[in-house]
């Protein structure tokens, strides 16, 4: 069996077919290219296992970049790992993972992942560390008579405009640029609210059991009273509930009622400078599409 790097000109179709055989949530070649080739942080390192000219194993190492001001932290996140059912329990995952960790060693300051409850123990057994700070999702019930802030809903490619990047920086977080915003939120379900004080909120509106939710992906610019921005969006879209990640920017948000909706696991390796503990993750950073 051959283990080698993915050839983006020849291997995308076979990789997507393997992924779709392995998971219920199907993807397309276009989606794969968007995620792994068009990423503004750089093309993903893809690793494939080949048997009889067929891709039977896949592990992608996606590039990411965090920043504090103009100081950058290079990161890699392993994603989209799958093995053909006929080749499981043969050590393919271990081989692909070891190759990827070695290959990306000089290209990253840390490596992180967001395993679910079923896979986190496997990560810990391989030497990953769990982020000690709990990252929780919450649901807030909108305050119906709160004072609304004025905003416009924009296309993601036009949202940043000519504003300086520093306007949206606050602590260590994903490097926020016009290119990143356009790439990460290119899908039609995402919207960007731009308030008169230049605060940006990326969100989407969904309906579950006939109840509207506003799902907050991230907020940039506002430093205080973030809930006023969130309530304003929900009221405009007639959504009674707001789903958000209780990170450092949103931890003080005020709603009529706020309830826990579960924990997001984050594990990491190779963080020699201890930076991951300072990163202010957004829901957009950790969402399953990534």
Phi/psi of residue 235, each to 5°?
Answer: -65, -40
User: Mutual orientation of helices 12-22 and 29-36 as an angle, nearest 10°?
Assistant: 110
Place of tokens 């290079």: 74
* Residue in 243, 177, 170, 176 with CA at minimum distance from that of residue 205: 243
Query: What would the pLDDT profile of 119-137 be if each residue is shown by its tens digit?
Result: 888 889 888 999 988 899 9
Over residues 230-259, the pLDDT tens digits come to 999 999 999 999 999 999 889 888 999 999
Res. 34: pLDDT tops 90:
yes
Round to whole Å and give the CA distance between 286 and 200. Answer: 19
What per-residue confidence (pLDDT) applies to 246? 93
Question: Higher confidence at residue 260 or residue 165?
Answer: 260
pLDDT band at 167; cut points 50, 70, 90? low
Domains present along the chain, CATH in parentheses: 2-108 (3.40.630.30), 136-263 (3.40.630.30)
pTM for the whole structure: 0.92
Upper half-sphere CA count for residue 32 (Cβ side, 13 Å): 25
Supply the mean pLDDT for the chain: 91
**Above 70 in pLDDT, residue 217?**
yes
User: CA geometry: angle at 225 spanning 172 and 191, to 5°?
Assistant: 70
Residue 116 binned pLDDT confidence (cut-offs 50, 70, 90): confident
């Amino acid at each position: 069996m051959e283990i080698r790097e993915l050839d983006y000109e020849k291997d995308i179709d076979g990789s997507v077919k393997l992924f779709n055989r392995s998971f219920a949530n199907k993807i397309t070649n276009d989606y794969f290219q968007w995620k792994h080739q068009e990423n503004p942080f750089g093309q993903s390192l893809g690793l494939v296992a080949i048997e009889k000219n067929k891709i039977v194993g896949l592990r992608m190492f996606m590039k990411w970049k965090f920043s504090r001001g103009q100081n950058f932290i290079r990161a890699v996140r392993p994603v989209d790992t799958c093995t053909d059912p006929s080749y499981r329990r043969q050590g393919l995952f271990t081989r692909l993972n070891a190759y990827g960790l070695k290959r990306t060693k000089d290209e990253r300051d840390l490596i992180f992942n967001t395993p679910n409850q079923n896979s986190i123990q496997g990560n810990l057994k391989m030497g990953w560390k769990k982020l000690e700070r709990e990252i929780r999702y919450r649901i807030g019930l909108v305050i119906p008579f709160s004072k609304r802030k004025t905003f416009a809903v924009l296309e993601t490619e036009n949202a940043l405009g000519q504003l300086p990047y520093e306007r949206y920086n606050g602590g260590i977080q994903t490097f926020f640029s016009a290119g990143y915003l356009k790439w990460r939120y290119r899908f039609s379900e995402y919207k960007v609210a731009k308030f008169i004080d230049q605060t940006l909120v990326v969100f989407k509106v969904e309906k579950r059991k006939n109840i509207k939710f506003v799902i907050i992906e991230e907020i940039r610019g506002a430093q205080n009273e973030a809930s006023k921005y969130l309530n304003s969006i929900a009221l405009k879209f007639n959504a009674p509930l707001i789903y958000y990640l209780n990170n450092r920017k949103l931890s003080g948000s005020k709603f009529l009622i706020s309830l826990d909706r579960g924990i997001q696991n984050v594990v990491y390796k190779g963080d020699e400078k201890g930076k991951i503990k300072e990163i202010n993750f957004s829901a957009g950073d950790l969402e399953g599409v990534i």
